[in-house]
Structure 1
Amino acid sequence: MGNERLKMMILAALFAALMGVGAQIIIPVPPVPFTAQTLVLPLMAIILGKRYGTLAAVLYVLLGTIGIPVFAGMKAGLGIIFGPTGGFILSYIPAAFLIGWIFEKGGGRTAAAVAATVVGAMFILLAGTVWLKYMGSLPWSGAFAGGMLPFIIPDLIKAGFAAVVGVLVRNRLASARLLPAALR
């Protein structure tokens, strides 16, 4: 039992690191850049489940908040969290839980994974856009145009890809008995 918990905590830390790597894969589009974080996040929530997927998201946000440069462009700190794009970053925590929860409630099927990742992607975009509007002092039209509209199609594609790959990886890990019994 203790070994399974330790194994999952290590996987959560690994996925937090992968989030940091994904943040550095950037297509710079002001005010919010395209990054691979929104591909890693649903993958980790599907593979690790709601509990450890959320732990990985919390760890990622905490690392960046305390000054480790894991956010896009090797940035970190409270200035990023309380800046215009901070809402996207903070939304990763509830989004990871939401994706994992929907997936688990859906019985771990691919259709549940697709639904979960799409809902998670839309949650991130909505939360981030609302934050962008207020923290960036933008009108709703500007926040929507800069924080949501350009990301809808790419994020839906990433969500579908993450759902299919996440279920495949999770099933392989489960069949190899590399996931705790509760996640199999």
Structure 2
Amino acid sequence: MDNIKETKKTKGKVNSRKSILDIVYIALFAAIISVCSLISIPIGEVPVTFQILGICLAAGFLGLAKGTTSVVIYILLGLIGIPVFAGGTSGFAKLASPTGGYIVGFIFTAIIIGLAVKLFGRKLWVLIVAMIIGVLVCYAFGTAWFIILCNNSGKSMDLANALSLCVVPFLPFDAVKIAVSAVLVNRLHKFIKV
């Protein structure tokens, strides 16, 4: 009987320690995404940032639930006024702007990458394919949002113009971010106990 009590007590301590570690990792990756978003190169309507790098890392390392939670926390931090969005901006106005759809699209990116990791593991090819699909879904969601808001505000915007403004200039940058993220997750995931 004493052995059973001791085993339950030990399991409780291990679970408590794992829960604390999970919270630390989620917060750490929300902070990493925040720092990545502050690195911003304005090249037009939508700036080049390193948010995608942070999101790919969070979802790749933490998986579906914890990675997506990390991204949602990052977005919530920005919505409550902490300047974590591109260029140090924040607030609901940023989300309601023509580029706000990309911020919402980050959640879908994290879900796709996290789901791929859950189903297929962290093989390099899995990470690369999942990250490409995740970023393309983010592009699709953000570009549709961009077109709708531009057209609703009186600026005429078609798909070709939106793609030339919001997608094409970012493809080379995001390809590098995906490659770096995939390699880092593939090589270092064994050091992060999630």
The answer to whether TM tops 0.5 is yes
The alignment's C-alpha RMSD in Å is: 1.2
Does structure 1 residue 23 correspond to structure 2 residue 4?
Answer: no
Letter in 2 for 1:172: F
Counterpart of 2:166? 147
Cα deviations across residues 107-130 of structure 1 (Å, max 9, x unaligned)?
321111111111111111111111
Amino acid at match of 1:48: L
* 8 A Cα contact 2:122 2:185, kept in partner: no
In structure 2, runs of 5+ residues without a counterpart are 1-14, 152-156
2:129 counterpart (99, 111, 115):
115
TM-score, normalised to structure 2, is: 0.86
Report the Cα distance in structure 1 between the residues aligned to 2:107 and 2:121, rounded to whole angstroms: 22
Q: Does 1:94 align with 2:94?
A: no
Aligned equivalents of 2:55, 2:121: Cα separation in 1: 20
> What is the rounded CA distance, in whole Å, between the counterparts of 1:30 and 1:2 in structure 2?
47
Q: How many residues in Structure 1 have an aligned counterpart in Structure 2?
A: 175
In the other structure, the counterpart of 1:176 is none
1:8, distance to aligned residue in structure 2 (A):
1.2
State, as a whole percentage, how many aligned pairs show the same letter.
Answer: 32
TM-score by length of 1: 0.90
Cα shift at 1:141: 1.9
Larger proportion of helix: 2
Structure 2: how far apart are the matches of 1:97 and 1:81? Answer: 19
Q: How does 1:1-184 map to 2 (within 5 A)?
A: 1-137=15-151, 138-173=157-192, 179-180=193-194
Helix, strand or coil for the counterpart of 1:73?
helix
Aligned-partner residue type, residue 87 of structure 2: G
Give how far 1:166 is off.
1.2
How far apart are residue 17 of structure 1 and its match? 1.1
Aligned residue type for 1:61: I
Shift of 1:136: 2.3
Are 1:43 and 1:166, in contact at CA under 8 Å, matched by a contact in 2? yes
Q: 1:152, CA displacement in angstroms?
A: 1.7
Bigger CA radius of gyration: 2
Structure 1 segments unaligned to the other structure (5+ residues): 174-178
Q: What SS does the aligned partner of 1:76 have?
A: coil
CA distance in 2, matches of 1:107, 1:53: 14
